[in-house]
């Protein structure tokens, strides 16, 4: 059984992103709608802002980069690109109940201008950072082990990445030891979980379908949690003070 919550949450970044097949630029059509609702929001441009159309034509993947960042008062951040829209939080993470409400809000905003557009990708990304003051050895916190020539090298510095597929989702899991953020040192568990929405919903999905039926996003979140907890040991769960639903 998966924990309901972690009292000592290690999440430092959480993002829901959606990519759609549109001829419009979401970086143009979406920000105004957000600013109408949150006039005091802070808008900033990323280094990808203003990429020439010729460059975009030569490298279509650039259309999925966020070019605008819009932060509202409670720490929620909206990200807009040519064909992508995202919502998320940096630390502190408010929990799934609040995050899911923001995802619903983001989908409603997107559906205002792109309700009938086909979805290309739906994903949830979590970045978890475990400070060495919480646990100084990844072998204690995680079930993950690395061996080379039959020798355990888990205590050494490493960066490990694996892509896999489960029922109705695919994911990329990355583990990094001896990582640094600000003035802290620890290790990172990074999960990017993608919903196979055709498998889940049984059809090509449009933006309006996700507004009407949020079950696929709930399922995606559950699977994203499952990927993270699959590499956390019982000792790690105790360190993070995992809480469970009462039976």
- Residue 54 has what pLDDT? 67
- Residue 236 has what pLDDT? 92
Question: Do 99 and 105 contact (CB within 8 A), yes or no?
Answer: no
- Residue 237 has what pLDDT? 94
pTM above 0.85, yes or no: yes
- Residue 53 has what pLDDT? 65
- Distance between CA 209 and CA 115 in Å, rounded? 8
Strand 242-243 and strand 42-45: the pairing is unpaired
- Distance between CA 3 and CA 244 in Å, rounded? 5
- Distance between CA 32 and CA 136 in Å, rounded? 46
- Report the half-sphere exposure of 116 (CA within 13 A, side-chain side): 0
* Residues sharing a CB contact under 8 Å with residue 103, sequence separation 6 or more, in sequence order: 16, 87, 217
- Residue 139 has what pLDDT? 80
- Distance between CA 130 and CA 148 in Å, rounded? 24
- Distance between CA 76 and CA 17 in Å, rounded? 14
Tokens linked to 138: 């990844």
- How do the pLDDT tens digits run along the chain, 247 residues long? 788 889 999 999 999 999 998 988 899 999 999 999 999 999 999 877 777 766 765 677 778 889 999 999 899 999 999 999 999 998 889 999 999 999 999 999 999 999 999 999 999 999 999 998 888 888 888 887 777 777 776 667 778 899 999 889 999 999 988 788 778 888 999 999 999 999 999 999 999 999 999 999 999 999 999 999 999 999 999 999 999 877 5
- Residue 2 has what pLDDT? 83
Would you list the DSSP string of 170-204?
EEEEEEEEEEEETTEEEEEEEEEEEE-HHHHHSS-
């Amino acid at each position: 059984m998966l924990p309901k919550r972690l009292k000592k949450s290690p999440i430092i970044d959480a993002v829901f992103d959606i990519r759609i097949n549109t001829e419009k630029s979401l970086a143009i059509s979406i920000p105004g709608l957000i600013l109408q609702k949150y006039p005091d929001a802070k808008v900033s441009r990323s280094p990808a802002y203003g990429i020439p159309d010729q460059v975009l034509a030569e490298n279509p993947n650039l259309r999925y980069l966020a070019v605008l960042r819009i932060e509202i008062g409670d720490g929620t951040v909206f990200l807009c690109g040519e064909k992508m829209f995202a919502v998320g939080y940096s630390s502190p993470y408010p929990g799934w109940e609040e995050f899911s409400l923001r995802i619903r809000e983001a989908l409603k905003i997107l559906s205002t201008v792109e309700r009938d557009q086909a979805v290309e990708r739906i994903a949830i990304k979590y970045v978890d950072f475990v400070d060495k003051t919480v646990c100084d050895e990844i072998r204690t916190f995680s079930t993950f082990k690395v061996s080379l020539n039959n020798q355990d090298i888990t205590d050494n510095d490493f960066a490990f990445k694996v892509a896999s597929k489960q029922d109705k989702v695919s994911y990329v899991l990355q583990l990094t030891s001896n990582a640094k953020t600000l003035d802290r040192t620890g290790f990172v568990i990074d999960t990017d979980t993608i919903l196979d929405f055709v498998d889940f919903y049984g059809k090509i999905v449009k933006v309006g379908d996700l507004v009407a039926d949020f079950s696929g996003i709930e399922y995606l979140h559950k699977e994203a949690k499952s990927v993270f907890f699959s590499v956390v040991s019982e000792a790690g769960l105790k360190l993070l003070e995992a809480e469970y639903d009462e039976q």
